[in-house]
């Protein structure tokens, strides 16, 4: 992940991977079935880990607004806590479907749930546009943090507040929701194994 984030591109030299891992090239070749599929594998691992960790972090939340806010804020916080992860997501999140697909899943489900319950006020056909906006705004907030222009707290809370206000949450309530303390994202087991 770190090599892809730093060097760009979707392929890497086995010698670079061996050097990073502290292993010989032969060991890499013997244990890596297809070096050209490594980028896809890294994307799958990161996407799965992110879904699992957001799910774990928000499973106790009943309010769809709180879950959407937490998803945004925790994603931005992860950039601060793990800059290699953040640089990888910032570089590939908008162009690699696996990495951006999260926004069409749990946040979209929470938007529908909030709309049905009357918690949110937007047209039902706008869910895809709202999730695309939330995802893009979150990636932008991550870049602000990575580039040192905003803290993770500022960028995450501001972005979540803007999204919540856009779906019909009152300004003061949106501020309250986006200012509550959150624990950092737990590391899911899939990431530990990678």
Q: Are 111 and 24 in contact (CB under 8 A)?
A: no
Report yes or no on 79 lying in a domain: yes
Give the pLDDT score at 32.
77
Give the pLDDT score at 187.
66
Give the pLDDT score at 193.
44
Report yes or no on 6 lying in a domain: no
CA-derived radius of gyration, the chain: 18
- For residues 99-121, average pLDDT: 93
Kindly report, residue by residue over 66-96, the tens digit of the pLDDT.
999 999 999 999 999 998 898 898 888 888 8
- Report the distance separating Cα 94 and Cα 91, nearest Å: 8
Look up the CATH number of the domain holding residue 73.
1.10.357.10
Report yes or no on 145 lying in a domain: yes
Report yes or no on 26 lying in a domain: no
Kindly report, residue by residue over 8-18, the tens digit of the pLDDT.
888 878 888 88
Q: How many angstroms separate the first and last alpha carbons of the chain?
A: 10
Report yes or no on 171 lying in a domain: yes
Give the rounded percent of residues in the chain with a pLDDT score beyond 70.
96
- Report the distance separating Cα 40 and Cα 84, nearest Å: 17
Stated pTM of the model: 0.86
Range of the domain at 155: 42-193
Report yes or no on 187 lying in a domain: yes
Report yes or no on 2 lying in a domain: no
Report yes or no on 72 lying in a domain: yes
Strand, coil or helix: 179: helix
DSSP string across 81-122 = H-HHHHHHHHHHTTT-HHHHGGGGSHHHHHHHHHHHHTS--S
User: How many domains would you assign to the chain?
Assistant: 1
Give the pLDDT score at 77.
95
């Amino acid at each position: 992940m770190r090599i892809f984030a730093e060097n760009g591109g979707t392929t890497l030299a086995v010698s670079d991977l061996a050097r990073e891992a502290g292993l010989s090239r032969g060991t890499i070749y013997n244990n890596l079935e297809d070096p050209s599929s490594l980028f896809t594998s890294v994307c799958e691992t990161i996407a799965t880990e992110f879904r699992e960790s957001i799910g774990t972090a928000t499973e106790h939340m009943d309010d769809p607004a709180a879950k959407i806010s937490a998803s945004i804020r925790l994603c931005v916080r992860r950039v601060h806590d793990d800059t290699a992860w953040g640089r990888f997501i910032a570089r590939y999140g908008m162009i690699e479907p696996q990495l951006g697909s999260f926004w069409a899943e749990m946040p979209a489900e929470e938007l529908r749930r909030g709309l049905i319950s009357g918690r949110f006020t937007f047209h039902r056909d706008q869910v895809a546009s709202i999730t695309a906006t939330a995802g893009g705004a979150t990636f932008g907030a991550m870049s602000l943090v990575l580039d040192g222009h905003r803290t993770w707290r500022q960028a995450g809370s501001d972005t979540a507040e803007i999204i919540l206000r856009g779906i019909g949450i009152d300004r003061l309530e949106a501020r309250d929701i986006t200012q509550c303390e959150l624990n950092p994202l737990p590391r899911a087991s899939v990431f530990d194994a990678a």
